[in-house]
Amino acid sequence: MLMIDEARIFVRSGKGGDGCVSLHREKFVPKGGPDGGNGGRGGDVVLVADPHLDTLLPFRYAPHFRAEKGVQGASTSRHGADGPSKLVKVPVGTVVRDEESGEVIADLDHPGQEIVVAKGGRGGFGNEHFKSATNQTPREATPGEPEIERTLLLELKLIADVGLVGLPNAGKSTLLSAVSKARPKIADYPFTTLTPQPGIAELPGDRRLVIADIPGLIEGAADGAGLGHDFLRHVERTKVIVHVIDLVPFDESDPIANHEVIRRELHAFSPVLAEKPELVVFNKIDLVAPAERDATIRRVAHAIGIDSAEVVVSSGATGENVREILERAWKMLVEVEGEREKWPGRPANA
């Protein structure tokens, strides 16, 4: 699945309809008086969070959105019709910014959430509006308010139950393909995953987990190194972190030091992010000699400060213990949410 997580769009609301100047003329009705109606209101441009969308890709090809203008007022006290609003559907998790000011306008993180990003112009007053005891035949009307134009920056922060984090080539993509139908790019070189790759894992009992393989993190990512904030902003939305540690790194680096790199970058980016529930997975156990497995697991677990019984030892390549990862992640997710389900197959507020 291709995920485009940034886009620029241009929006324009509808101009308000002009007011009408009209004096009533009818046989046998002398001095009929003013009867010019008001103009209609211009349409708004409204962004709506749609749970059925998962990418900003369509906005790359169709970035312009315009609401319709209000209809001008008419004689015989007829008010102009309001211009229809323009509804723009965006994925849940979209952050909306004004390009000129950089201000965050909205964070659309709930399905059905709406925000008016360009308000339609108010309709002008017809001359009937200005009649009074001292001004019985006004010949004035006001124009409708002008439209609003602005450029918006959309940024999609992936909303997933579980985020797979780890250094490049820790085996996250292989794990994701083993537990879901997602088919991320897998290769033996760093940064094969350049955009978040979502997948859905099905568990017994009509349960499911939305899992995201987040692009690999390197030292200094909190300051923008490597994929930097492109990685971290997506982890920010996940509810549970699965920290994948490669026991046999291809670059012969130390798994213990690699664990510290990830933890340090999470803390540097956001203390709240660093405190999210974390399941540690020792991956690629199939590459460790059987006689050395237990000693390796105990040594690495002790060095990073956790009990070896709390670690899930797995192999995405062989499928060893991938089901255990899902069950442990589900249990942690239920604890985070406080109740098991809000609707079938999903924890509350998922």
pLDDT given at position 159? 66
How far is Cα 334 from Cα 180, in angstroms, rounded to an integer?
20
pLDDT given at position 224? 43
Would you list the domain boundaries of the chain? 6-156, 162-337
pLDDT digits (tens, 9 = 90+) for 213-225: 776 554 443 344 3
pLDDT given at position 194? 45
Tell me the percentage of the chain whose pLDDT exceeds 70. Answer: 83
| Tokens 């008016």, residue located | 116
CB 248 within 8 A of CB 258: no
Q: Choose the weakest-confidence range: 65-79, 154-168, 277-291.
A: 154-168
Largest CA distance in the chain: 111
pLDDT given at position 193? 43
Mean pLDDT over residues 1-23, rounded?
A: 86
| Tokens 């933890």, residue located | 263
Whole-angstrom CA distances from 292 to 257, 284, 317, 320, 322 are 20, 13, 19, 17, 21
Most confident of 143-147, 290-294, 329-333, 335-339: 143-147
pLDDT digits (tens, 9 = 90+) for 289-316: 999 999 999 999 999 998 988 999 998 8
CB 167 within 8 A of CB 216: yes
3-class SS of residue 94: strand
Q: Indicate whether 180 pLDDT > 90.
A: no
DSSP-assigned letter for residue 34 = B
How far is Cα 178 from Cα 286, in angstroms, rounded to an integer?
15
How far is Cα 317 from Cα 257, in angstroms, rounded to an integer?
24
Query: Do 6-156 and 162-337 come out as alike in CATH topology?
Result: no
Q: Indicate whether 97 pLDDT > 60.
A: yes
CB 39 within 8 A of CB 56: no
CB 47 within 8 A of CB 6: no
pLDDT given at position 220? 41
pLDDT given at position 28? 74
pLDDT given at position 343? 37
CB 163 within 8 A of CB 243: no
Q: Indicate whether 51 pLDDT > 80.
A: yes
Mean pLDDT over residues 31-46, rounded?
A: 93
CB 148 within 8 A of CB 169: no
- Please tell me which residue, 97 or 177, carries the higher pLDDT value: 97
pLDDT given at position 181? 60
pLDDT given at position 38? 97
How far is Cα 154 from Cα 59, in angstroms, rounded to an integer?
9
| Chain mean pLDDT for the chain | 82
- Residue 143's closest CA among 36, 67, 261, 38? 38
As a CATH number, domain 6-156 is 2.70.210.12
- Residue 94's closest CA among 2, 8, 210? 8
Q: Indicate whether 191 pLDDT > 60.
A: no
Q: Which CATH superfamily is domain 162-337 in?
A: P-loop containing nucleotide triphosphate hydrolases (3.40.50.300)
Q: Indicate whether 261 pLDDT > 90.
A: no
